[in-house]
Amino acid sequence: MKYSEQTEKEILNSAIIKQESLNRLMEFDRELFYYNEHRIIFDILKDIYESGTQVDLSIIGLKLKEKNIFDEYEKHLLSIIKSYTPITIDEHLETVERLFNERKLLSLSKDIYTAIKNNDFTYYQLAEQFSEISQNINRTKDSEYCTIKDLSEKNLDELFKSSNFIRTGLSSLDDKIIGLFNGQLVIIAGRPKMGKSTFAIQLIKNIKQHILFFSMEMKRTEIYSKILSSECDVDSWKIELNKLNDFERIKVLNSHNEIKEKINITVFDTAFNISKLKATIKKFYKAKKPVAIFIDYLQLITGGNSESQVLRIASITRDLKLLAMELNIPIVLLSQLSRESEKQNRRPIMSDLRDSGSIEQDADIIIFVHEEDGQTEIIVGANRKGKSGIVKGIKFVKEFSRFEDSKISEVFENPKYFND
């Protein structure tokens, strides 16, 4: 099916009730719509838009009466009004535009077939038709570019809303990175058992706003036991195995009853390929408006556009960076390290990122969770908006699945073993 009646109705509904949606719709032509009644409503909206008048139902009704089609189109208009849904109009417009182009290609294919049978077309006519369709499909949208004049005429506070960031809640780390900025891809990397998943959960807890957490390594009960452990100071393994004494049981039950008021996370604990992961993120972003996405971890995401593991991982990190920019939120991606730093008994560097490919190029921040002389270190290996170096003052309390910040904020800037 090369059309969607419901999608067309929802676009028109949004354009009627939202000025910004009407502005976007006016970038298109009436042929975008498959149904003629929708084209008629589009024509009326365009007349109102070009007159500079505010759209409302009474004016639409008057326009229909002027055309002597009010009785015929009243039911169509009511059907559009009842189609309200909180949509992102750009996504619906892309869908309808794609269907329009598919209809046009299908029609052109039929015309070409008929012309070939009748021997009445030229190569140049055919090339011209394909060129026209290609230009329509690849048309640059107004939202994809701007001039410096456009920016200079905006309110500064409104303009830089996109630069909002989230504090991690670990002040020693925030002294380095400031926070997690919208549109960033942040990598948290470490060898197995170093605590990178626990560190990610600690950040999620500290943020205290709604977050989507995709865990491909731990099941939901394991994640929950870690959260309870960090809240009530009872070992997570005891919680999971129900090996609690009476005092511990009371502490766990108290945290269990109170936790929903403190932490707002939606947890996904199944395997994902990159296509399904992106689609799920977009779906739940639209429905739940999370402030950040956490994914544990990179090497467990299947799919990608290459048989080579390095190029496949590079394809995935690039997709996630573009998604972070599209949704304008931070995406925090956990990653494994190769064994080189462990073999050489040294702190990790960027080249230790497993299947590194373009991870270093795509990531805005790279954080290593590392153990040195029996003590856990948090190392900022790369940071586009701030400083790199070792963060002192953050302690890993392993038995209670918690990272604590002593707020000493002692840092060593740009150690020699980092690549500038």
Confidence (pLDDT) at 365: 92
Say if residue 137's pLDDT is above 60: no
Q: Tens digit of pLDDT for each residue in 193-244?
A: 888 999 999 999 888 889 999 998 888 888 888 888 888 888 888 888 888 8
Amino acid 376 reads: T
The pLDDT of residue 420 is 39
Among 34-43, 51-60, 115-124, 242-251, where is mean pLDDT lowest? 115-124
CA dihedral sign of residues 402, 406, 411, 417: negative
Structural domains of the chain, with CATH: 5-144 (1.10.860.10), 163-413 (3.40.50.300)
- Give the span between the Cα atoms of 259 and 231, in whole angstroms: 8
| Pairing between β-strand 185-190 and β-strand 331-336 as defined by DSSP bridges | parallel
| Contact of 209 with 264, CB cutoff 8 Å | yes
| Cβ-based neighbour number of residue 186 at 10 Å | 24
- What does the pLDDT read at residue 271? 84
Residue 225 CB contacts under 8 Å (≥ 6 apart), including other chains: 236, 237, 239, 240, 401
The answer to whether 392 and 170 have CB atoms below 8 angstroms apart is no
Q: Specify the 3-state DSSP secondary structure of 41.
A: helix
Query: Is the preceding peptide bond at 297 cis, omega within 30 degrees of 0?
Result: yes
Average pLDDT of the residues in 265-292: 86
Terminal CA-CA length for the chain: 53
Residue 414 confidence (pLDDT): 46
- Give pLDDT, residue 187: 92
Does position 417 have pLDDT exceeding 60, yes or no? no
Percent of the chain with pLDDT over 70: 83
The pairing of beta strand 365-372 with beta strand 185-190: parallel
pLDDT at residue 120, as a whole number: 64
What's the confidence (pLDDT) of residue 334?
94
pLDDT in tens, 76-126: 777 776 665 655 677 777 777 778 777 777 777 777 777 767 766 566 666
d(CA 155, CA 280): 34
The span from the CA of 183 to the CA of 326, in Å, is 7
Give the pLDDT confidence of 397-411 residue by residue, as tens digits.
Answer: 888 888 988 764 444
Confidence of residue 143 (pLDDT cuts 50, 70, 90): low
149 vs 396 pLDDT, higher one: 396
How sure is the predictor about 130, in pLDDT bands with cuts at 50, 70 and 90?
low
> Max CA-CA distance within the chain?
90
Cα 371 from Cα 213, distance rounded (Å): 25
Residue 44 confidence class, pLDDT cut points 50, 70, 90:
confident
pTM of the predicted protein model: 0.62
pLDDT tens track for 339-371: 777 777 778 888 777 666 577 788 899 999 988
Interior CA angle at 384 toward 382 and 390, to 5°? 35
Report the alpha-carbon distance of residue 33 to residue 237 in Å, rounded.
Answer: 58
pLDDT (0 to 100) of residue 419:
42
Element (H, E) at 175: helix 171-177
Query: 375: helix, coil or strand?
Result: strand
C-alpha 88: how far from chain center: 14
Q: Has residue 25 got a pLDDT over 80?
A: yes
| pLDDT tens digit sequence for 376-402 | 888 998 888 878 888 878 888 888 888
Judged against a pLDDT cut of 80, whether residue 67 lies above it is answered with no
Q: Give the amino acid at 227.
A: I
Task: Pull the structure tokens for residue 155.
Answer: 């309110």
Report DSSP state, residue 387: -
Which has the higher per-residue pLDDT, 134 or 222? 222
Give phi and psi for 101, each to the nearest 5.
Answer: -65, -35
Question: What pLDDT, on the 0 to 100 scale, is given for residue 82?
Answer: 63
The two tokens of residue 65 are 């009466």
Mean of pLDDT over the chain: 79
- Return the beta strands (E) in 148-204 as ranges: 165-166, 180-181, 185-190
Both tokens assigned to 181: 């900025």
The confidence band for 191, taking pLDDT boundaries of 50, 70 and 90, is confident
Residue 311 reports pLDDT greater than 70: yes
What distance in Å separates the CA atoms of residue 142 and residue 83, rounded to the nearest whole number?
27
